[in-house]
Amino acid sequence: MTTLLSRALGAIVVAACMASTLSAAAPADKPNIILLFIDDWAWNGSPIPMDDQLPNSKMPVLQMPNLEKLARDGMKFRNAYSGAPQCSPSRVCVQTGQSAPRSGYTVYLGQPKDDYYDTRRQYAGLPVVPNISDGSIDAGTTTIAEALRPLGYQSAHIGKWHIGGDPGEEGYVLHDGDTNNNPGNTVGKVKRLPEDLTDPKLMFSVTEKAIGFMRSQASEDTPFYLQISHYAMHAGRECLDETRKKYAKHPAVQAYYKENGTTAETINRNQDPAVWLGMGEDLDTCIGKVLDEVNKLGIEENTYVVVTSDNGYRHKFYPGLTQPLHGAKWWVWQGGVRVPMVVRGPGIKAGSKFDANVVNYDFLPTFVDWAGGNSNTLENIDGVSLASYLQGKEPDDEFRNRNLYFHYPHYRTSMPHSAMVSGNKKVIHFYERPDIPMLFDLSGDEGEVQNIAESQPKVHQRMFQAMMGYFKQVGARIPKTNPDFDREAYKQTKEYETRLQWGPFMGSRELEADEVEAEDTHPTAVLKSQPNVVFIFADDLGYADIASYGHPYAKTPSLDRLASEGTSFTQFYVTGVTCNPSRTGLMTGLFPARFKMYPADYGFGDRVTITQLFKNAGYRTGHFGKWHIGPETEDVYGIDEYSSGEKNDDPSLGRDAGLFNAAIDFIKRSDGKQPFYVNIWGHITHYPVKGDSELAKHFQNIDFKRSDFSETMQVKFDEAASIGGDLAQSMREYMGEVYSLDLNIGRVMKTIDDLGLRDNTIVVFSSDHGPAPVLLGAKMESKEYSANMLGYAGVFRGGKHSQYEGGVRVPMIIRWPGRVPEGKVNETSVTSTIDWMPTLCRIAGINDLPEEVDGEDISDIWFGSDRTRTIPLYWKTNSAGSQPAMRDGKWKYHAATRRDPAELYDLSSDPSESRNVADDHPQVVEQLEAKLRAWVRDLPDDYDKTDDKQPRKRDKQERKSKAGTNGVD
């Protein structure tokens, strides 16, 4: 650990050593230096081939004419490395001229609490104990700006810093502060980019600020160092609308859409190659603006321009080619640390190439030499000046075979490992498996597919000892063997398969396996890790009762956050129109009409439940809140702990606070080793929503207008008004109930996050069916609080007791960091609670499903696919005489009754089910009727308990209603 005094002394040394040069050189003789530092840009990520003999050393389709001209006018580097496989430590390498193991900054952790080992809970049972990292540049370390200041330079850093600390304290006179990735994510977590986006990834405003600095320095004839650290091409893809449209039309992009079952109109922006390509072209436009300004200012002949990246990257879109390098960001394989690099400037031959190894911690000594200083006076650095090589000097063997060090002693998607490159040889060491030596000859094996350590043990031993000796010399932190290693627990981590596939190996591997791995972490992966599962089920909550699903007055910040951190589904269905049938389908994987004995009274008999399957697989299981799935007996359905949670000492949290308290206690007792599955099934917003609630006061200022709601909602307003309800106050009471639900969901999320369980916990929110009616039964009866039952189904017709969309379509949000896409809204895939059992069992690696399951595995849809389902959805109550309905593709079909004709709706154009098109599509009716009747033939002929009168009467009322869009044309 260095001190402020040592930092001051270091600055004095730098100043003294450079003073003579400063006095000897006039400012006009000093070149300007511009570093364009790109985020997450692969070696093969630009249209410039880094090796003219390798067609896969560039990115097809992408157009970057300004960058290509820069390469023609300057020198390109075939073997350029970043100092680290992640952005923050790589940026420290640039600033300090030090390798990551020397600086101690090896990953971005903020300000760690420990001194050496990272003892956080999530690493407790892993094979080795990883290390912490420095969180800022050491006080005694000289940065680029500090080294150039005594030479007469003014320095600016514009854009992403992501190092910690204040750039101003590192010598920069102009900067954006301690920025991270967030400023560059300008549109938030949205599926589609706004068409009016003008400054994607802040590319254009960052460029304008940089140009302003150039102009001010040129006007004062002051040499400058300018680092433009772009937020592109980091995740959270953004580009101009017209640029994206250009690439969306490209045949290769169109082929990608088709292969992945999506279109330019439906694909999520973070999976859209057109957005990534557009971001690259927009970046090039901004590079061009900088180069144009250099020309306008008349400083082209005296300005160096360097373009490179902070770390490697792996493409999901790489048409027609196999990617040349192994690994990706977070790994010290070549794919994580090799980057593109182009330099133009005074004395650099146009169109030249450099094939020896260079690394970004060479920049500091190079820039000092360019500025007229003496890089040999710089202390405690690892970089070597490239100035003479850029002027045409041929590198000697000493330079070609120098050692480059890479050190990542951490767990992320990757695992603790280190590497050293020396000439064409590379040694890699994985701390989990010291028994597997790793050595590669990069001259003929850039893809690192052939481990030659066994055939060249002396070379491996020499290089390994040199690497570890260097680490010891510079005081690098080294992981240690974990005495509490739990092998079975390690196998359950969600990263286990990736680490197994991208970790150490003997002999050889196939480079194409990297492409398989990229798919394996995507939709159709068979996941062998066992995540925790938290399922929050609201009662009678309407599709549009929360803010993210369109309610004009709802305050649901916790659910909004859940949606922004996960995926929302707009075509999600439940299996029943009342509480028990809906819960039956979810728990058993069977449509409730299959049960001859009505489950609300008799339970599920010998049918295996999802909780039983998870308990058998080693999970702790809990159920808290509303039951309504048969007799309550000890250890029923494989549930270890059950509580109705009725006790509530805090009315400010609403009537469900007690059951949430019980669930939170269950989660808190997790030991981190045994996974858990927990149902949190509330009573909100089931009748009664009582009046005079303190929670309603949160909505005191809403300006209630009936016109803020859909036409289908006007019927409920009419009913509430007809029994004397104050619509504005009733809406406040109902919103207060929803708000209390959101407060409790926030408590659960906070508990999960605080316990460090976030990354390995699936959190799912939904409702058991649509909103309850205001008036009940055939006589349209009211009760004391009926006017408050203003649940909102959005544009959908019907509600609870109805098989129309408003009764069976509900909100559904999933959060699982690193697996389920963040901020995605899936508007394409039809999914259902009937899929709950096969999907979760697939994810948890549970193979002993019952032979008869009505749902399908939709884990690929959870993970980001927008495909259509393969099995229709069916609804029917537990009565032989009740009429069924079904959803198949875009069609919703209600079978005919003795009094009413069949109904067919095209939900793609008529989600409100307002226009019966059965007469227009007789063939569709015939096909769906055949499917529906075949399904009904497999159901019981009679039932021991019928509960279908209410649903049938309600549907009958819906059919006859002509108010608003509730009528049938």
Going from the first residue of the chain to its last (969 residues), give the mean pLDDT of each consecutive group of 10, the final group possibly shorter. 36 40 48 98 96 93 97 98 96 98 90 79 88 93 98 98 95 96 86 93 98 97 98 95 96 92 89 96 98 97 98 90 92 97 97 97 98 96 98 96 98 93 98 95 95 96 97 97 88 82 90 59 42 96 96 96 96 94 91 85 83 90 87 73 79 91 93 89 91 84 94 93 92 95 96 92 96 80 87 95 96 94 94 95 83 87 85 86 91 92 96 96 95 89 59 36 28
User: What confidence tens digit (pLDDT) does each residue in 214-262 have?
Assistant: 999 999 999 999 999 999 999 999 999 999 999 999 999 999 999 888 8
* Pairwise CA distance, residues 309 & 303, whole Å: 20
pLDDT of residue 482: 93
* Token reading at 335: 């794919």
H helices present in 690-726, as ranges = 714-722
Look up residue 344 and give its DSSP letter: E
User: What confidence tens digit (pLDDT) does each residue in 18-44 have?
Assistant: 443 333 333 458 999 999 999 999 999
For residue 275, the Cα-to-chain-centroid distance in whole angstroms is 16
pLDDT of residue 645: 75
* Token reading at 863: 């993970």
Q: Does CATH number 3.40.720.10 belong to domain 532-692+737-778+790-870?
A: yes
| Strands (DSSP E) found in 847-939 | 873-875, 885-888, 891-894, 903-906
Q: Which class in CATH covers the domain with range 883-943?
A: alpha beta
| Strands (DSSP E) found in 768-872 | 809-815, 824-826, 831-832
* Pairwise CA distance, residues 560 & 548, whole Å: 6
Is cis: bond before 651, omega within 30 of 0?
Answer: no
pLDDT of residue 847: 76
Q: What homologous superfamily is domain 32-401 in, according to CATH?
A: Alkaline Phosphatase, subunit A (3.40.720.10)
Whether 532-692+737-778+790-870 and 32-401 are alike in CATH topology: the answer is: yes
Give Cβ neighbours of residue 529 (< 8 Å, ≥ 6 apart). 491, 492, 493, 494, 495, 496, 497, 760, 845
User: Do residues 7 and 357 touch, judged by C-beta distance below 8 A?
Assistant: no
* Pairwise CA distance, residues 99 & 511, whole Å: 28
* Pairwise CA distance, residues 763 & 526, whole Å: 19
Would you kindly state where each structural domain of the chain is located, as residue ranges? 32-401, 532-692+737-778+790-870, 883-943
pLDDT of residue 12: 38
Look up residue 394 and give its DSSP letter: P
* Pairwise CA distance, residues 789 & 837, whole Å: 32
* Pairwise CA distance, residues 457 & 439, whole Å: 9
pLDDT of residue 113: 67
pLDDT of residue 963: 28
Q: How many residues does the chain have?
A: 969
Look up residue 871 and give its DSSP letter: S
| Neighbour-count burial of 135, counting CB atoms closer than 10 A to its CB (0-12 exposed, 13-18 middle, 19+ buried) | middle
pLDDT of residue 953: 35
| Strands (DSSP E) found in 539-647 | 567-573, 620-625, 641-643
* Token reading at 162: 């992501």
Give Cβ neighbours of residue 859 (< 8 Å, ≥ 6 apart). 523, 524, 525, 527, 839, 842, 843
pLDDT of residue 321: 87
pLDDT of residue 891: 97
pLDDT of residue 622: 94
H helices present in 74-166, as ranges = 87-96, 100-103, 144-148
